[in-house]
Amino acid sequence: MNAINTKILVCCHKKDIMATQAPYFPIHVGKALSDKDLDIQADNQGDNISEKNQSYCELTGLYWAWKNLKNVDIIGLCHYRRYFDFHNQCRAGFPQTVFSSEKFNDIDLTIPPQIIDRVQKGEIVIAKPRNYRRTLIDEYCFSHVSEDLRTLQTILKESEPQDIQDAYFKIMIQGNELRHYNMFLMRWADFDEYCNWIFNLLRKVEEKTDITHYDPVQKRIYGYIAERMLNVWIEAKKKHIIEKPVIWFTDAKDILTHYNRITYKIRCALNNFAFWILKPHKQTW
C-alpha cells in the first residue's frame, strides 16, 4: 500500500516558533510584500496571489498550495502559533487553550493514524466552534464592515446554488457558532473543490468592493469572509466533521494582550446589552 502524502501548511510571516517536521509544511505568506527571508517555502513562486496577502491573509498560502503542490493526498492549514490539538492537551470544553511558547517542544502535534484514516474516507477536521451571543451576521457587522456582507449576500443570491444559500442562512443568519482561523484537514479532492469555489466567490466580491480606505484590520476582509464561508461550504456539502480544539502558543506579553481583548469584548457586550433587550430585531434573507 502506498504511503499517504499529507501536508499541513504552517502559515508564517516572520521568524518564530513553528512546526517543521512532516507532515507540517511551513510557508511564508505574503512574501511578495516582505523583504524578510525565512528560509522556508515562499508563496510568491509559481502561480500565486502573494501580493494580496494584506486582504487575503493566510489564503495566499492556501492558493499557492492549490496551484503548485502535486501528488498530495491530504492537505491542511494551521498557523505558526496555532495548531489542532489531536491529543486532548487543551482544557476540556474550550475551543482554544493558550500555552506559553516555552512549552512548544513539549506539546504533541502529531496526527493520530485514525484521524488520517477518517479524513481519507471524506471527513474534515475543523476547529472546535466558538459560540457568540448573537448571530454570526450580527457579529460580523459589529466587528467589520457590514456593507461587505451585503455585497456577499447579493452575489450568493445571484450566482450560487440553493444548497449554498440555505447553508449561508443556517450558519450566518440563524447560527451563532463559528469555527475560526481557516484551519482544516481534508482530502485533496475536497480541497480542490473548495478552492475552486471560494476563490471564485472572493473574486466576485473583490470586483465589487473598494477597500482602499480600510484600516489594516478591515483590509483583511477576504480572510474574514473565507473564515465564515468555510463553515458554509462544509454545511452545504453535508461533510462529516471532526471538531478539534486549537492550541495557541504565545508569549507572556501576548497573553496579557489576549485577556485585554477579552475585557474589551465584555465591555462591548455590556454596552450593547440594553440595545439587544429593548430593541429585538430579525434578520432577513
Q: Is residue 155 domain-resident? A: yes
| Rounded mean pLDDT, 17-25 | 97
Instruction: For residue 278, give the amino acid letter.
Output: L
Task: Indicate the number of domains in the chain.
Answer: 1
Q: Specify the pLDDT at position 253.
A: 58
Does 255 score more than 80 pLDDT?
A: no
Q: Specify the pLDDT at position 92.
A: 85
Q: Specify the pLDDT at position 263.
A: 54
Q: Is residue 65 domain-resident? A: yes
Contact 45, 28 (CB under 8 A): no
Phi, psi of 127 (to 5 degrees): -65, 145
Q: Specify the pLDDT at position 93.
A: 86
Rounded distance, CA 172 to CA 46, Å?
35
Q: Is residue 112 domain-resident? A: yes
Nearest Cα to Cα of residue 30 among 19, 40, 15, 44: 44
* Domain range enclosing 165: 6-278
pLDDT tens-place string over residues 205-240: 999 999 999 999 999 999 999 999 999 999 999 999
Q: Specify the pLDDT at position 251.
A: 85
Does 136 score more than 90 pLDDT?
A: yes
Q: Is residue 285 domain-resident? A: no
Rounded distance, CA 247 to CA 148, Å?
30
| Rounded mean pLDDT, 72-85 | 98
Contact 62, 50 (CB under 8 A): no
Mean pLDDT, the chain, as a whole number?
91
CA–CA–CA angle 243, 127, 104 (5° rounding):
110
pLDDT tens-place string over residues 145-166: 999 999 999 999 999 999 999 9
Bond into 113 cis (ω within 30): no
Instruction: For residue 244, give the amino acid letter.
Output: K
Q: Is residue 284 domain-resident? A: no
Q: Is residue 126 domain-resident? A: yes
pLDDT grade for 1, boundaries at 50, 70 and 90: very low
Three-state SS annotation for the chain: CCCCCEEEEEEECCCCCCCCCCCEEEEECCHHHCCCCCCCEECCCCCCCHHHHHHHCCHHHHHHHHHHCCCCCEEEEEECCEEECCCCCCCCCCCEEEEEHHHHHHCCCCCCHHHHHHHHCCCEEEECCEECCCCHHHHHHHHCCHHHHHHHHHHHHHHCCHHHHHHHHHHHHHCCEECCCCCEEEEHHHHHHHHHHHHHHHHHHHHCCCCCCCCCCHHHHHHHHHHHHHHHHHHHCCCCEEEECEEEEECHHHHHHHHHHHHHHHHHHHHHHHHHHHCCCCCCC
Using DSSP bridges, classify how beta strands 184-187 and 124-127 pair: parallel, antiparallel or unpaired.
antiparallel
Q: Is residue 283 domain-resident? A: no
pLDDT tens-place string over residues 162-205: 999 999 999 999 999 999 999 999 999 999 999 999 999 999 99
pLDDT grade for 271, boundaries at 50, 70 and 90: very low
Does 106 score more than 60 pLDDT?
A: yes
Please tell me which residue, 209 or 259, carries the higher pLDDT value: 209
Lowest mean pLDDT segment, chosen from 18-32, 84-98, 169-183, 263-277:
263-277
pLDDT tens-place string over residues 119-131: 999 999 999 999 9
All three cell numbers of 161? 446554488
Using DSSP bridges, classify how beta strands 82-84 and 6-12 pair: parallel, antiparallel or unpaired.
unpaired
